[in-house]
Amino acid sequence: MTRETFVFDVFSRCVEAIIDGQLIVRESRRDKEFHFQDWFARRMTEALARSGTHFEQAGRNKYPDFSLVEHAEGYEIKGLAYPGRDATYDANSQMPSGLHNGRTVFCVFGRYPKEVESESEYPVVDLVLCHGDFLNAEHEYRHENKSVRGFGSYGDVLIRDRKMYVVPTPFAVASGLNARRTLILPQDFEALAPPNFTRVGSLVRKEADELVVAYEFDLTTNEIKALRVENPNAGREHYFVAYRLESDSASPVEMVRRGSPPEPA
């Protein structure tokens, strides 16, 4: 873990902006995800201004969306319409992870009201900023798209294996996040937490008994089969702490039991 992080400053600025009524602005008809990205980029600029730290925005389908220039830290952004699909999200470019290319990565989830999605401005309903390890603690996997040629009656059609990962959001993993602004970090960040941050939950994620290491797809039956192996780290627990600003709600954050439905609105 880096001994210097800007995640507390970035989170603080996001919370202040939400409370202050800084709205998401629809500046064009681009994908709706970019509207929240633009909102977050403004908060990053404001949070980093005093330190003279800079950040860069990645191209489409690159991970993470924003990377600090002077520090090995990045932020992946996901805007979610609410009510709507918010228990899972599609990760097209990379499996989420708290470490990517030597950078510590944080994932930012912002929900906005679905009924005003056609408007040019709308608020952030709630916010979760979490360390990428809260979603997936595996650091070695590298996403690559491969292809095979020879399909079709003439044998000259290429099939491209373009993977998409459907990942549970923090709203499906933990309860107590609705209508709140919450920061979730590994336990070893606790010593770095500023005094105006309040601990509102202790969260534990346990590694699965088995891992999917390969899959095969039958083009004649359209069936897919996974190859699973025993996880050498089965049962290993990863400890996280949920925080809020001391001026915000102190309502608790807890783990959702595996197999339980997402928290109701």
State the residue for tokens 């040019």: 120
Percent of the chain at pLDDT above 70? 92
Mean pLDDT of the chain: 91
> Which tokens in the block code for residue 184?
């979730």
Question: Which is nearest to 110 in space by CA: 16, 167, 57, 35?
Answer: 35
Average confidence (pLDDT) over 225-244: 97
Tens digits of residue pLDDT in 208-226 = 999 999 999 999 999 999 9
At residue 258, does pLDDT exceed 70? Answer: no
Distance of alpha carbon 10 from alpha carbon 15, whole angstroms: 9
> Which tokens in the block code for residue 212?
């999917």
In sequence order, the 6+-apart residues with CB closer than 8 A to the CB of 25 are: 35, 38, 39, 120, 121
Tens digits of residue pLDDT in 76-102 = 999 999 899 999 999 987 899 999 999
At residue 265, does pLDDT exceed 50? Answer: no
pLDDT band at 3 (very low <50, low <70, confident <90, very high): low
pLDDT band at 1 (very low <50, low <70, confident <90, very high): very low
pLDDT band at 257 (very low <50, low <70, confident <90, very high): confident
Average confidence (pLDDT) over 202-212: 97
pLDDT band at 58 (very low <50, low <70, confident <90, very high): confident
Helix (H, G, I), strand (E, B) or coil at 190: helix
pLDDT band at 118 (very low <50, low <70, confident <90, very high): low
At residue 68, does pLDDT exceed 80? Answer: yes
Average confidence (pLDDT) over 152-178: 95
Question: Which is nearest to 107 in space by CA: 69, 83, 76, 137?
Answer: 76
